[in-house]
Structure 1
Amino acid sequence: MAKIELPYVAWRDGRPRFVPGVRERAMGFKGQDLKHDTGQWFSLDEAHAWAIARRDAITEQRKTGRKLKTPPVPQGRAVQDLWDAYSRSHEFLGNAAKGIAGLSTSSQSTYRKWTAPLRKEPLWLAPVAALDPVVLKNLHDRLIEQRGLSMANGALKVLQAMLSWGRLRGWLPKVQGHTIANPAAKLDLPPLPVRLRIGTDVEISSLVIASDHARPSRVLLSAIGDAVLTGLFSGQRKSDVLEFVPGEASPDRVELVQNKTGARISIPMAPRLVQRIAQGRERRAQANYPVLFGNIVVNEETGRPYHERTFREHFQIVRAIAVAGIVDEEATRIAREQHASEQRNTEPPTVWILQPCPSLADFTFPDLRDTAVTWYARAGSTVPEIASISGHTLKSIYTILKHYLALDAHLADNAVRKLVDWMEREGLTV
């Protein structure tokens, strides 16, 4: 096995220990085992990052000639300092609104959540110069084991964006007068598994019916049904659905600029959606809110547009109700009394307002976007036609359909039927 050499670090039975020399001890540096507070020993990449930080601190201390008992990382140049600067920048705020490439989110809190595991790493307090592809790749592997692939990819994507921002602002070191490349730029992170989830007509209807009949703790949730149908017919992301306002020029169209891509979309509203929107306006008018908002989807507890967190909680309530089903208590009571009087030797009947739909347990609101693309394709829409509604790039739509084509016999049926109809019109008899 090749000998592992790190500055001022000795390995004893595979465990790293900081061993300063005579001059370093005279400067106030003391030996120590390289462990976490939990007692767990540093891994190789953790020891590497720590050693580089301590070496740079020693070098900096030699320049000053002062004796320090606890030499710090050079002030203002640690990874956490770069994060603090980046998280206050316009670029970070823009990324948080649009989502980093390859990751779907629109919440600053999500980006900060991805940095949570990084804050427990030695590299968080190490100089930015200590980051290299080997350290970051090992970090990614360890995060996969500890937190899963989604969290690991999120953390590394944030580091990548942060280092890209810092590189243009002098945070990364120079070699022969040239700033080094972003060490997180080409790590070949494994992609997340593609989610293959198309909603069925029964599932969509169940969500809408559940939203109209849900009254847990007197919370009004019919707006979730408004959002479900809006998401289905428009194919838009949740953040855009929550901001939808019918156009001034034509109340039967929705015109918007997508939050994530900046794409301009003009969408005619399907008759079912127009009907649903009218019902929502009538509900809100009867509620006598102090201010009426023009959004299609409004939190009917407050009369104001939804915050995403509250919307997510309300959607989960509606989904749970649809999964369990809704019993008509009065009709069930009457049916069971009649059943008992007739002394039947069968199970007492249950009358359902909504039959249980257990398949919805894993359905999420973002699944409506892929459902919309697939349903439009089933209906015979071309890829450019779908893109004009959903705002997807043509490549994105082909990617979605590539995963669904093998699962969806309706598309094949449509294709063959179109070919047969065309041959008959053209008089082709092959």
Structure 2
Amino acid sequence: MSCTNATLSPKGGPRLPGKPGDPEFDAAYNAAHSTKKAPASGTLQSILNGFQESTDWHDLADRTQSDYIKLIKVIEQKFGTFPLSALADQRTKGVFLAWRDERALKSRRQADYGWQVLARIISWAKDRGLVVANPCEKGGRTYRTTRNEFVWSDADEAAFLASADEHLHLPLILALWTGQRQGDLLRLAWMQYDGHYIRLKQGKTKINVTIPVGAPLKAMLDPLRQKSGNVLVNSYGDPWTSDGFRSSWGKACRAAGIFNVTFNDLRGTAVTRLALAGCTEAEIATITGHTLREVRSILDSNYLKRDVALAESAIRKLEARTKSPN
């Protein structure tokens, strides 16, 4: 059955002239499709799109972009047609908070993350004069717990090394002796290690760090050293995918009887161990890439307050300073 003129139309749009393949049909379809996709001027959708075309967006790590896209889609469905002129209205914050609180009934973390993404995009627009107010600037959090207090103990480390497959040993030691994020370590290439230092640019912060390689880590790296390729590979010798690594790591932890800490907790553990070794906050930040404030927050939250070795050291110092009675 042939198609006649003016019988086809894009879903929800006007009828189009001609048949598919005809110049007039193609031109009309492209025009209709473009009109349908273009965000209405002055709506939240316009700055959601603009942010994703900006240098701020391209500076984000691939994983962060992926996470943002999922939340931007949620925001589009809920607030895509929301007028930018209404952002200055005092009632708008209440509207956005109600959306966040509704999402918090399912997941407080995701509710806070969605709020964070919305706040960042509106902040980007405000800095460029596209909006006059950001009602999400001070929304607070619904999820308050951090993992700063979760650190790997010496017993956890020993149990993992005794139980896990050998190709998972290096990720553990590498994380403990560098304090870097999982994504940066999975991307680490042999060319970034010169036998003395590891040099990398952190994917999340874009900070360049130069890390002197400690003897235990060097003893593991040098026998495996190659001219090219990734430092961390799976049992087949292939670079890890993020999902593949998380799955294998989780299984190895469960097999070792380790349930209360994750790979991400190794970063805070590295900070803690450096502090216990007598390193200053500035020295720690130089290695891990944290800010001084972040280092202090980690140390203030974790078990340094309860570590018996520190308490013993403090009393010994006090004893040495106190004059013995005659």
Could you say which TM-score interval applies, normalised by the shorter chain?
0.7 to 0.9
Q: 1:114 to 1:368 in 2, by over 3 A?
A: same
Tell me the SS of whatever aligns to 2:200: strand
Distance (whole Å) between structure 2 residues aligned to residue 164 and residue 280 of structure 1: 46
Match of 2:94 among 131, 134, 148: 134
**1:279 to partner: Cα distance:** 4.9
Counterpart residue identity of residue 166, structure 1: A
CA contact (8 A) 1:263 1:391 kept: yes
Q: 1:158 to 1:395 in 2, by over 3 A?
A: same
Q: 1:247 to 1:269 in 2, by over 3 A?
A: farther
Flag structure 1 segments of 5+ consecutive residues without an equivalent: 1-72, 98-105, 173-179, 213-221, 286-291, 323-356
Distance (whole Å) between structure 2 residues aligned to residue 87 and residue 210 of structure 1: 44
**1:82 to partner: Cα distance:** 2.8
Flag structure 2 segments of 5+ consecutive residues without an equivalent: 1-37
Query: Does 239-248 or 201-210 show the bigger shift?
Result: 239-248
Query: Cα deviation per residue 1:312-334 (whole Å; 9 max; x = unaligned)?
Result: 22222322322xxxxxxxxxxxx
CA contact (8 A) 1:243 1:295 kept: yes
Counterpart residue identity of residue 119, structure 2: Q
Distance (whole Å) between structure 1 residues aligned to residue 287 and residue 110 of structure 2: 32
**1:294 to partner: Cα distance:** 4.4
Tell me the SS of whatever aligns to 1:310: helix
**1:193 to partner: Cα distance:** 0.9
Distance (whole Å) between structure 2 residues aligned to residue 249 and residue 149 of structure 1: 40
Q: 1:298 to 1:143 in 2, by over 3 A?
A: same
The answer as to 2:210 corresponding to 1:312 is no
Match of 1:298 among 215, 218, 233: 233
The answer as to 2:313 corresponding to 1:414 is yes
How many residues are matched? 283
Match of 1:268 among 206, 209, 212: 212
Q: Which residue of 1 aligns with 2:69?
A: 112
More helix by share: 2
The answer as to 2:143 corresponding to 1:199 is no
Counterpart residue identity of residue 244, structure 1: L
| Bigger radius of gyration | 1
Counterpart residue identity of residue 275, structure 2: A
Query: Does 153-162 or 255-264 show the bigger shift?
Result: 255-264
**1:199 to partner: Cα distance:** 0.7
Distance (whole Å) between structure 2 residues aligned to residue 140 and residue 223 of structure 1: 42
TM-score in terms of structure 2 length: 0.75
Q: 1:295 to 1:428 in 2, by over 3 A?
A: farther
Matched ranges for 1:211-250 at <5 A: 211-212=164-165, 222-245=166-189, 250=194
CA contact (8 A) 1:246 1:254 kept: no
The answer as to 2:123 corresponding to 1:164 is yes
CA RMSD of aligned residues (A): 3.0
Distance (whole Å) between structure 2 residues aligned to residue 417 and residue 198 of structure 1: 26
Match of 2:48 among 80, 83, 88: 83
Distance (whole Å) between structure 2 residues aligned to residue 169 and residue 161 of structure 1: 13
Q: Which residue of 2 aligns with 1:95?
A: 60
Counterpart residue identity of residue 158, structure 1: V
